[in-house]
Chains A and B, each alone.
Chain A
Amino acid sequence: MLKQTPLNQTHRDMGARMVDFGGWDMPVNYGSQIEEHHQVRRAAGMFDVCHMLVVDVTGIGIREFLQTLLANNVDKLKEPGKALYSCMLNPAGGVIDDLIVYFMREDWFRIVVNAGTADKDVAWIELQRTAHAPQLTIRPRRDLAMIAVQGPQAREKVWQAIPAARAATESLKPFQAAEFDQYFIGRTGYTGEDGFEIMLPVAEAADLWKTLNTLGVAPIGLGARDTLRLEAGMNLYGQDMGEEVNPLEAGLAWTVELTSPRDFIGKPALLAKPVKMQMLGLVLLDKGVLRGHQKVATPHGAGEITSGSFSPTLNQSIAFASLPLGVAVGDVVQVEIRDKLLNAKVVKLPFARNGKSLINI
């Protein structure tokens, strides 16, 4: 039996094509994935992200606990409401999950983890809590729904749908959140556009979704979510990273804070591993579509695509590739697609931000 979010019936009513996404019955599109993609880049779209899990950590000494648990340093979170992107590593330095942690008070931090890894994450966090900070309470919040609204018009639409949100969130900077009434709203997202992620009681989710829709915010499926995040240079757990992947090789070095003396789980293993690969972007020069697991031939050795698709914004195929050190931006490499070698240009990530292509080919 597939798990359902509180918006399941609403998706069906809106004509969604549903798919099994890691055990969840989720909308892949509502007609055209490409149109949904453009809608987010040009106006505003909304995503059901209720399958992801909010986990509240409360008690005394959370900051110290998270400094051990996470590869990024929560000491960067000084102002209440500030959020941080981080990986949670295993002792071998592999990625258990990537997550966002919000600092609300010294006795309350909120973590948002991926859907497919949620149970594993909670078990791991509880295990570490028991070992390092038994006074803390770990509370999975399945009572909260989560809706992401993204695009240049996203914030304005949310303020129309929830008038009280304007005063509470107008001054939020990117990667900052505010709590008011029944809402917890973060200026975060996964598309490379401005916007909000709204957490609210499950019972209120369908009403907010429908109100946003009447204001012209289109529902967006997982299909467009994937092409948007790919263009925005955002890693996907299970494809671009995982327990067997060194985050320093997967384009996540900026999230692994190694300069402070603090000890975090996985740090000794990371320091002991030689870094041999790097994550870069590819733009296909020949005709075709880049996909995950395709082999890449370079003068410095073999690489592999971790995520690839057609980019609606660039109107050509793009990918993330794990490539040997030595390959540089501007190089042309060969991707093996159905026994043919096609040319692709190595580019810097991301491919697009705020509606515009960042790539000149």
Chain B
Amino acid sequence: MSIPGDLKYTKSHEWTRSEADGTVMVGITHHAQELLGDMVYVETPAVGRQLAAGEECAVVESVKAASDVYAPVAGEVIAVNADVVDAPEKINQDAYAAWMFKMKPSNPADLDGLLAAAAYQTLVESEAH
């Protein structure tokens, strides 16, 4: 199981990567893509959309099932990754490179409330039992 130590995670299996400019990249975890299987469709939020923490804002669909993606924190969508929309299988190939959208958090301190790698690993292990 791949859970990079420099990222933060949500209970709903999104990962976030904080950039130097205060923005945050969001994708779904390696564990999530493994559960979903071969990705065939990705729907990203509109640039400029204001998200509440935990709001449904994107959709990933594998051959098997559709799954909602939730905003890890409140903020504005400032960019989306057209590459994963064109080639959803990139999420299967490398979940932590295949970011889905970038956001500017309303309150950067909200990121402190997300899970560190060890805590996310514990969560995944507990869900497996």
Contacts and interface: CB of A to CB of B under 8 A. Distances in A.
Indicate whether A and B interact: yes
Interface of A: 17, 28-29, 32-34, 223, 227, 287-289, 291, 309-310, 312, 317, 338
Interface of B: 34, 37-38, 40-41, 43, 59, 61, 63-64, 66, 92
A170 to B, nearest CB: 35
A289 B66 contact: yes
* Secondary structure of the A contact surface, majority rule: mixed
A288 B61 CA distance: 8
A289 B41 contact: yes
A33 B64 contact: yes
Given A310-B41, A310-B61, 17 more contacts: A17-B34, A28-B37, A29-B37, A32-B37, A32-B92, A33-B64, A34-B38, A223-B37, A223-B64, A227-B63, A289-B41, A291-B66, A309-B64, A310-B40, A310-B63, A312-B63, A317-B40
8 contacts: A28-B64, A32-B37, A32-B38, A223-B63, A223-B64, A288-B61, A309-B64, A310-B63
Contacts of B63: 33-34, 223, 227, 309-310, 312
A87 to B, nearest CB: 27
A221 B92 CA distance: 18
B37 A33 contact: yes
Contacts of B92: 32
Given A289-B66, A291-B66, A33 B61 contact: no
A289 B38 contact: no
A17 B66 CA distance: 18
Contacts of B43: 288
A304 to B, nearest CB: 17
A291 B41 CA distance: 13
Contact of B40 (A29, A223, A289, A338): A289
* Candidate in B34, B37, B66, B92 with the most chain A CB atoms within 10 angstroms: B37
Nearest to A337: B66
Contacts of B34: 17
Give 5 nearest A-B pairs by CB, closest first: A310-B40, A289-B61, A34-B38, A310-B63, A289-B41
A178 to B, nearest CB: 35
A29 B59 CA distance: 22
B116 to A, nearest CB: 27
A338 B59 CA distance: 10
Contacts of A289: 40-41, 61, 66
Most chain A CB within a 10 A radius of its CB, from B37, B38, B40, B61? B38
A287 B59 contact: no
Nearest to A37: B63
A287 B64 CA distance: 16
Nearest to B34: A17
A5 to B, nearest CB: 21
A337 B63 CA distance: 16
A28 B62 CA distance: 13
A309 B62 CA distance: 9
A75 B40 CA distance: 46
Contacts of A34: 38, 63
B95 to A, nearest CB: 15
A32 B37 CA distance: 7
Contacts of B41: 287-289, 310, 317
A314 to B, nearest CB: 12
A33 B38 contact: yes
B92 to A, nearest CB: 8
Contacts of B40: 289, 310, 317
B83 to A, nearest CB: 15
A353 to B, nearest CB: 20
A357 B43 CA distance: 27
